Amino acid sequence: MTQSPVHCHVVVMGVSGTGKTTVGAALAQWFGLELAEGDAFHPPANIEKMRAGVPLDDDDRRPWLEALADWTRERHEAKASTVVACSALKRSYRDILRSGVPDEPTLFVHLVGTPEVLRDRMSHRDHFMPASLLDSQFAALEPLEPDEDGVVIDNDPPAEEVVGAALAWLEPRLHLRP
């Protein structure tokens, strides 16, 4: 385990089934960061909508993203660094997440995978998000833009390899305590 970085905020993003929670938890443990699992911040109406197979729209996602940004701000004010596991599909969503701590950089780890692998993973887990909504997430997904500090990592390999790639990218970017 590495020493805890100072004022580090990481978002592990991607469509459903990419392993955001698995990778986010591993990064949080390795670097000693606090983890927010994005699904825990969804209001009940969002969960019921997704469970019914209805994709969320921007209006559904806004309060959820604002709650995650608020959590990041609160943790930052308490001198804690964070990892948020959240789809962050659009630039505007990532802007909301960044608004929690606008004066500190937010690093993005964008996990990507093939639809076939992701559908298979989703079919083997107990989650409110059905695989039928995967296409709507791919349709909404906007890649990281050049001014967003992030990396794209293929999530089709085993989790250990994906976590290793994320660690390798993050370690030189984090400011570690002496």
| The token pair that represents 90 in the structure block | 């659009």
Q: What is the pLDDT of residue 156?
A: 84
Q: What is the pLDDT of residue 138?
A: 83
pLDDT per residue over 39-98, tens digit each? 889 888 888 887 787 878 889 989 999 999 999 999 999 999 999 999 999 999 999 999
The residue assigned the tokens 């709650």 is: 67
pLDDT higher than threshold 70 for residue 166: yes
How many angstroms separate the CA atoms of 149 and 146, rounded?
Answer: 8
Q: DSSP per residue over 128-150, as a string? A: SS-GGGHHHHHHH--PPPTTS-E
pLDDT higher than threshold 90 for residue 147: yes
Residues near 43 by Cβ (< 8 Å), separated by ≥ 6? 63, 64
pLDDT higher than threshold 80 for residue 1: no
The domains of the chain are located at 9-173
**169 band by pLDDT with thresholds 50, 70 and 90:** very high
pLDDT per residue over 104-143, tens digit each? 889 999 999 887 777 776 666 565 555 566 777 788 889 9
Residue type, 176: L
Q: What is the pTM of this model?
A: 0.86
R_g of the chain, CA atoms, integer Å? 15
Q: What is the pLDDT of residue 73?
A: 96
Q: What is the pLDDT of residue 2?
A: 47
Coil, strand or helix at 35: strand
With 0-12 / 13-18 / 19 or more C-beta atoms within 10 angstroms meaning exposed / middle / buried, residue 42 is: buried
- CATH of span 9-173: 3.40.50.300
pLDDT higher than threshold 60 for residue 5: no
